[in-house]
Structure 1
Amino acid sequence: MSPSGLQLAGGVLAAGAAAGAALATYAACEARAYTVRRVTVPVLPAGHAPLRVLHVSDMHLTPGQTRKRDFVRSLVHLAPDLVVNTGDNLAHMRAVPFALDAFAPLMERPGVFVLGSNDYFDPGVRNPFRYLLPDDGVRHTDGAQLPWGELVSGFVDAGWLDLSNRAGRLRVNGEEIAFAGLDDPHISRDDLAAVGPAPRDADLRLGVVHAPYLRALDRFTEQGYDAIIAGHTHGGQVCLPFYGALTTNCDLEPARVKGLHRHPADSLPGDPGSAWLHVSAGLGTNPFVRFRVACRPETTLMTLVER
């Protein structure tokens, strides 16, 4: 190659390296740009006052993530009437006390929770590009178990309802709310039989699950629940501007990877066998690859209003 050719190739390589470094820096900053989203869900009976529901998901906390912990602690200033935690709180063997500290102010409010796969098992180092490939069905359930029982005890001792394959009820600001929950479908811990018919004497019926697999969403809607709250997807985590998510890490289609939608997707409010669906893009990432692209980490304040 001629000297001029070598110089051109060197310039291209340098430009490519600079662009890659810039993208990596941006993606690392994006993963720490914690955001509060706000949505309004018309799901309450007529004549009922609005209800503020804080949806927190996928914190993936390690002991050293003080900024993330401080952000979660600050959410109490949103004055939620109810907190819904859809799992994947942990990402380290010693994270439980730090997670409970982060949620401590919110645990003074009524709350419910389910767990995700990363509450049960150490996340381990993963190839970040595998997340963008089609799901091969492989689940990493052979690693070290995290002390998830301590996390559950902390939540339950504070008065939060454990909805992992369970149902329960709470009275919140005068509203009688019936819940049904599933353990994580991503690792086949869900028991669909745990979701029975939605109680008709409740003012509001909510389904809660970590991963929004279609079998879980279908079960909640078939049983008459008004809305379903889920996490797991990270909003796609690595998204393309003006295009959106490349994957959901489950069988939910990318068009509903985060935010407020209907289920089934083509249903309208009031259609029998349908419900609102809210999927959180979550607050975290795998602790070894803390990158997000065009998808900021988030928690959502859902204002429930009259239908």
Structure 2
Amino acid sequence: MSTFARHAGRVALGTTALGTATLAYAAGIERRRWTLRQATLPVLAEGSRPLRVLHISDLHMLPGQRSKQRWVAALDELDPDLVVNTGDNLAHRQAVPAVLRALGPLLNRPGVFVFGSNDYYAPRPKNPARYLFPSHKRIHGVPLPWRDLRAALLERGWHDLTHVRRLLTIDGQTVAVAGVDDPHLRRDRYPDIAGRPDPSAALRLGVTHSPEPRVLDGFAGDGYDLVLAGHTHGGQLRLPGYGAIVTNCELDRTRARGASRWGAHMWLHVSAGLGTSPYAPVRFACPPEASLLTLVPRPTRETEAPSTVTRAQFGAGAGFG
């Protein structure tokens, strides 16, 4: 065997070993490395008291995912003023009790929600190339019991914001909230909620599952201060120095997770979420997360300065299950 052939063989063997190790890490460790993202966003009206908002998204819950359920339930220790759930809670027809166990004590707090595609339909195996070459054609699995989940959340006092506008009192302050059904399924009907929210509210909050620009433009045009969304999984697979490979929607890659400005005055926060499809159970350079957002008054003269963002392990950490 020539020297070149031996060298090529070693390179191929090393590449295979590295790929195997990366896949093992992405599937066996990182997708269970529960992480808390924290950010401070200047979105409240002048003179308002800070509000703490817990943003949960994309649980994609399976009945046996016990460590995820324990970790999410422990987020109640953060003492949020408001919980916002931006959908894709389910990944199995029998997962509603598991989702309710996870949300557990958080259901005693003020909460709002909208649903995503994987609340309505179970995931199905897909060719990964579909994410690189997006199509408007949707592949749906079996229907999921989203109505049972909705009934349970409503019974505990949470508000369904699907094509609804509401005024809530959160920690003694008025919060104007509105939401749309999942734009990824093209179920959004923004005209149903169009119009400027109450100008006297301390916060004007929009909620959507998929952060499609057409919906974000609607909220921004109506004068909302902040929109919360999920769906992107932060890219799920990120390349160091490059970021998210795809967002699975029309949102640009640079906004796949975390806080950014949308237009002149509105902020957008996209959660990278806490789950994956059971048919693609990997994450790389993008651990599963929930977000604690501390909302503070806008400065007297708004600037383009970024929010303050930190990420940290919380509670049970990288448990398995």
Q: What per-residue deviation string (whole Å, max 9, x for no partner) do you get for residues 203-225 of structure 1? A: 21100000000110011111111
Alignment counterpart, residue 152 of structure 1, candidates 146, 150, 164: 150
Moved more, 166-175 or 103-112: 166-175
Q: Secondary structure at the match of 1:255?
A: helix
Q: Who is 2:61 aligned against?
A: 61
Report SS of the residue matched to 2:194: coil
What is the match of residue 306 of structure 2? none
Q: Which stretch of the first structure deviates more once superposed, 194-203 or 295-304?
A: 194-203
Q: How far does the alpha carbon of each residue in 1:166-218 deviate from its partner, in whole angstroms, 9 at most, with x for none?
A: 11221010111111100000001101112222122322110000000011001
User: SS where residue 139 of structure 1 aligns?
Assistant: coil
User: Residue 308 of structure 2 aligns with which residue?
Assistant: none
- 8 Å contact kept, 1:82–1:110: yes
Partner residue in 2 for 1:119: 119
Task: Please tell me whether the aligned partners of residues 48 and 202 of structure 2 are also in contact (alpha carbons under 8 angstroms).
Answer: no
Once the two structures are TM-superposed, the CA of residue 9 in structure 1 deviates from its matched residue by: 5.2
What SS does structure 1 have at the residue aligned with 2:207?
A: strand
- Deviation of 1:46 after TM superposition, in Å, equals 2.2
Question: In 2, are the aligned partners of 1:246 and 1:254 still within 8 Å (CA)?
Answer: yes
Are residue 109 (structure 1) and residue 100 (structure 2) matched? no
State the partner residue of 2:281: 290
Q: Counterpart amino acid of 1:180?
A: A
2:3 and 2:246 map into 1 onto residues whose CA distance is: 43
Aligned counterpart, 1:250: 249
Instruction: Answer yes or no: is the 8 Å Cα contact 2:164–2:178 preserved in 1.
Output: yes
Amino acid aligned to 1:106: L
Cα distance between partner residues in 2 of 1:152 and 1:289: 26
For 1:149, give the aligned amino acid.
Answer: R
Cα separation, 2, equivalents of 1:285 and 1:38: 21
Aligned residue number for residue 271 of structure 1: none
Structure 2: any 5+ residue segments left out of the alignment?
A: 299-321
CA distance in 2, matches of 1:190, 1:219: 11
Say which of 293, 302, 305 aligns to 1:302: 293
- For these two proteins, the number of residue pairs brought into alignment is 296
Deviation of the 1:64 alpha carbon: 1.3
* Rounded Cα–Cα distance in structure 1 between residues aligned with 2:49 and 2:243: 35
Name which of structure 1's ranges 8-17 and 82-91 shifts more when overlaid on structure 2: 8-17
Aligned 8 A contact 1:195 1:220 in 2: no
The worse-fitting range, judged by mean Cα deviation, of 60-69 and 192-201 is 192-201
Q: Distance in 2 between matches of 1:279 and 1:5?
A: 49
| Structure 1 unaligned residues grouped into runs of 5+ | 268-273
Amino acid at match of 2:180: L
Q: CA deviation at 1:288?
A: 2.0
Instruction: Report if the CA contact (8 A) 2:45-2:201 is conserved.
Output: no
Deviates more, 1:212-221 or 1:282-291: 282-291
Residues 103-146 of structure 1 deviation map (CA, whole Å, 9 limit, x = unaligned): 01100000000000011001012233432x031112123x3100
1:235 paired residue number = 234
The match for 1:46 is 46
State the secondary structure of the residue aligned to 1:31.
Answer: helix
What residue number does 2:163 align with?
A: 165
Tell me if structure 2 keeps the 8 A contact 1:110–1:172.
Answer: yes
TM-score w.r.t. the length of structure 1 is: 0.92
User: What secondary structure does 2:177 align onto?
Assistant: strand
Partners of 2:222 and 2:45 in 1: CA distance: 18
What TM-score do you get using the length of structure 2 for normalisation?
A: 0.88
CA distance in 1, matches of 2:232, 2:167: 27
Structure 1 residue 4, shift from structure 2 partner: 6.5
Whole-Å separation in 2 of the counterparts to 1:8 and 1:243: 30
Q: Distance in 1 between matches of 2:184 and 2:199?
A: 30
Distance 1:205 1:173 in 2: 15
| Mapped pair 1:74 → 2:65 | no
1:20 is displaced (CA, Å) by 1.4
Q: CA deviation at 1:226?
A: 1.1
User: Is 1:195–1:223's contact at 8 Å kept on the other side of the alignment?
Assistant: no
Query: Per-residue CA shift, 1:46-97, capped at 9, x if unaligned?
Result: 2222110000001111011111111111100111000000000111111011
